[in-house]
Structure 1
């Protein structure tokens, strides 16, 4: 392949599977050749991102991801995406490891939210402990000019349980738990829009999208952006990652 992109995934695998499913489902096709050209790296053994961010003595996920990026860079993809919000804790180090443009998922998500919900007063953030601890999304939300809420401890515990107990450990989706989290963020914490700051929550959204709440699904946004960029590549247009934000 000469014009393709690389997907660095496996964090977790069901979330990566959800990204690929949506990517293929949303691509306009009439024949096999209309699907996109991409390489999937499902690096499931990358150390847990949250565990390392909370406790730096735990194995770092940076070295294996740097290795992935450098290996893929030899193949010269046009751009790369990392299907894990929490991994963007090391975004600067990861981008510095390669000349290939790497999409910044949290930045793209919040810049999209600003365009889609310019009149939102308060933004809710639900994510892993690691993503909340590293303030990636909080800083993006504040820089965009919005108030934000992380809910209360019970909500954060329920989010962690949905991500780890249900999806990562059991490979199951608990729709009721997901809906209850969204409902409480909306009704008790007055959130006009809720950011899904974890790809497992994007998986939850794919499997249980029948609810009335406004959400910003970072993975879904990256899917649409991947299709847009690859379509331009096929037309021979030069892509500029900086213009997607």
Structure 2
């Protein structure tokens, strides 16, 4: 697939599959292309049997997850990828460790999303974070935002349980979503004074797209798609 003047994006997908197909669609929709040949070359590895990221974090044993992610990343590297994107926020708990063992760069969704929010709104404001328990507990976004002078707010324990229900029972399992519960989560974050809310789980990216949510909800995966396009030498629409 490697061609002179064309960069290849490698994608470790399947976490979950619905989010991965949305990421691919975002890359297509956001690329300034007028024919097939102007689109970005991608290698998409849909590793749906990857161990659950939040479960791995809660167990305290990340080794199986790490080795499978590294195997996939090296597969993409050998296959000709110039960059690697992982449309899964929680897996970024391992991104620094993975990067040390690769020759090509990984696009860090956590850093890119935090910087994008900073560029839009500056510092000294409150940002709501909606994510899995694993992403919240490892403070991936809290640490990155703090370094930029952004305060973060996460849901209460009761509302975090509703977030997990939306992610796992709603999007991953395909069951109906209780919008009343989502609005309760939103109200809590608005009442806390959040200027905007980061959808920091790729299932929540799907949820935003399905329900046409307002720009109050910023999609981390959308930012990853945009940065992937630009870093691989294409223009955004």
TM-score, L = length of structure 2: 0.90
Post-superposition Cα deviations, 1:56-98, rounded to whole Å, max 9, x if no partner, equal 2587311111100111111231111011100011111111121
The answer to whether residue 229 in structure 2 is matched with residue 227 in structure 1 is yes
Find the aligned partners of 1:7 and 1:171 in 2 and give their Cα distance. 27
Task: Give the alignment of 1:151-166 within 5 angstroms.
Answer: 151-166=155-170
Equivalent-residue separation in structure 1 for 2:188 and 2:73 (angstroms):
39
Pairs within 5 Å for 1:86-165 = 86-118=90-122, 121-165=125-169
Please list the CA deviations of residues 158-194 of structure 1 after superposition, one character each: whole Å capped at 9, or x if unmatched: 11011001011126666554444333311x2211111
Residue segments in structure 2 that go unaligned for 5+ positions in a row = none
The corresponding residue for 1:238 is none
Residue matched to 1:63: 67
Q: Deviations over 1:116-146 (max 9, x none)?
A: 0115621111110001111111101111112
Give secondary structure in 1 for the equivalent of 2:43.
strand
1:183–1:202 Cα change, 3 Å = same
State the TM-score, normalizing by the size of structure 1: 0.87
The 10-residue stretch of structure 1 (42-51 or 24-33) with the greater mean CA deviation from structure 2 = 24-33
CA distance in 2, matches of 1:174, 1:231: 41
Contact 1:8 1:80 in 2 (8 A): yes
Q: Measure, in 2, the Cα distance between the counterparts of 1:103 and 1:61.
A: 18
> How many pairs were matched up?
231
Q: Secondary structure at the match of 1:60?
A: helix
Tell me by how many angstroms 1:4 deviates. Answer: 1.0
CA deviations on 1:182-239 (whole Å, 9 max, x unpaired) are 33311x221111111111111111222243x522311000111112122359xxxxxx
Q: 1:172 and 1:18, CA in 2 relative to 1: closer, same or farther beyond 3 A?
A: farther
5+ long unaligned stretches in structure 1: 234-245
Alignment of 1:23 with 2:35, yes or no, is: no
Which residue pairs with 1:242 in the alignment? none
* Conserved? CA contact 2:95–2:108, under 8 Å: yes
Relative to structure 2, which stretch is displaced further, 191-200 or 223-232? 223-232
Is the partner of 1:151 in helix, strand or coil? coil
Distance 1:30 1:177, change over 3 A: farther
Aligned to 1:240: none
Change (3 A) 1:120 1:220: farther
Give yes or no for the alignment of 1:205 onto 2:208. yes
